[in-house]
Amino acid sequence: MTLTIGIVNYNTKKDLERCINSILHNPPDCSYEITIVDNDSKDGSKEFLKRIKIKNITYIFNEKNLGFGKACNQIAKTSSTSYILFLNPDVEITENSVNRLIDFLRNNKQTGAVTGKLLYPNKSFQLSCRQFPTIFRVLFGRESFLRKISPNNNFSKQYLMTELNYDKIQFPDWARGAVMLFRTELFRKIGGFDERFFLFFEDTDICFRLKKAGYRIAYFPEAIFYHKLGSSTQKERLKTKIIHNISMFYYIRKNMNYSFTILSILFIALIIRLVFIFPILTLKEI
């Protein structure tokens, strides 16, 4: 068999159903299987999955939420295919999108992972390529306070690659993990996702390790996917923000050669940021 399509689900039943239907209506030309890990959902996802009786769909039901990276690694351990495509459950594939990613990876041996063009459900464009984080880039990230008060600053432009030509093939530092195709053998060789990232930055980290090993990360615009963005994380925004900041700090501590002093300053800055957003998010969730 050629391809495993791996999906990690957590309380996104309706999106997951749309994702599965999009695959069944736009199947890849190669032989494929779908493996879905449910991270102890409470929204009826498990019951929905158990009702599906399709030969090439298998399920792993975790008794607790193990996080995104660990669940993806579970999928990879059960796969015996040449390629593995990780999809977020709020992604819908389009005709030939998966075929085009496979063809690209097959024909570009120095590419370690490839993603496609992401569109919102209303067909508007979604930024998906990034430069590797630094302290200054993190402080001016996509949802940062500093970017809100100065949206056109150079740090944000560089980090989010807002001026990149997304109609052409590109090789960014990393790409968002909503859609990411790997050679299964290379994914295992590189160690899979670092399971110490519960959520967020596991995609950044694996791209960093691939590039250190001499591989490129590719963006291929002819493969188009619809991505709702944030289906599960929007339901627990405060918890999500805390996890995001923890993952951000861990990524920088792990991969950047910053001194203890600089890391301490960053840690304090992230704590201050959480203190400021806590009352805002709490009021929104009431």
Q: What is the pLDDT of residues 71-110, one digit of tens each?
A: 999 999 999 999 999 999 999 999 999 999 999 999 999 9
What's the distance, CA 1 to chain centroid?
Answer: 24
**DSSP assigned state of 272:** H
Strand, coil or helix: what is 92?
A: strand
Instruction: Read off the pLDDT band of 133 (50, 70, 90).
Output: confident
Mean pLDDT of 12-17: 96
**Domain annotation covers residue 208:** yes
Query: What angle in degrees, to the nearest 10, is found between the helix axes of 237-255 and 202-212?
Result: 20
**Locate tokens 């160690």: which residue?**
191
Question: What per-residue confidence (pLDDT) applies to 260?
Answer: 84
Residue 244 falls inside a structural domain: no
Pseudo-torsion of CA 130, 232, 180, 52, nearest 10°? Answer: -170
Contact indicator for 213, 182 with CB cutoff of 8 Å: no
Predicted confidence band of residue 284 (pLDDT cuts 50, 70, 90): very low
Domain membership flag for residue 72: yes
Residue 75 within any structural domain of the chain: yes
Asked if 201 contacts 250 with a C-beta cutoff of 8 angstroms, the reply is yes
> In the chain, how many domains are there?
1
Q: Does residue 209 fall inside a structural domain?
A: yes
Cα 98 to Cα 67: distance, rounded to the nearest angstrom = 25
**What one-letter code names the amino acid at 208?**
F
In a domain, 271, yes or no: no
Residue ranges making up the domain that contains 76: 3-231
CA 190 from centre of chain: 17
What would the two tokens of residue 158 be? 């560089």
- Residues 123-147 have a mean pLDDT of 80
**In the prediction, which pLDDT does 134 show?**
83
How much is the average pLDDT of 146-167? 81
pLDDT band at 268 (very low <50, low <70, confident <90, very high): confident
Instruction: Say if 89 falls within a structural domain.
Output: yes
Statement: residue 281 has pLDDT above 70? no
Q: Is the pLDDT of residue 162 over 60?
A: yes
Say if 285 falls within a structural domain.
Answer: no
- The CATH number that applies at residue 11 is 3.90.550.10
The residues, any chain, with a CB within 8 Å of residue 64's CB and separated by 6 or more, are: 39, 40
Q: To the nearest whole number, what is the mean pLDDT of the chain?
A: 89
- The pLDDT of residue 238: 75
CA distance 140 to 155: 6
Closest listed residue to residue 40, CA positions, set 64, 17, 12? 64
Helix axis angle for 260-285 and 237-255, nearest 10°, is 170
Q: What is the mean pLDDT of residues 117-130?
A: 96
- Which range, of 82-86, 118-122, 246-250, averages the lowest pLDDT? 246-250
3-class secondary structure, 213: coil
- Residues 96, 97, 101, 102, Cα dihedral to 10°: -40
According to the model, what pLDDT value does residue 231 have?
64
- pLDDT band for position 285 (cuts 50, 70, 90): very low
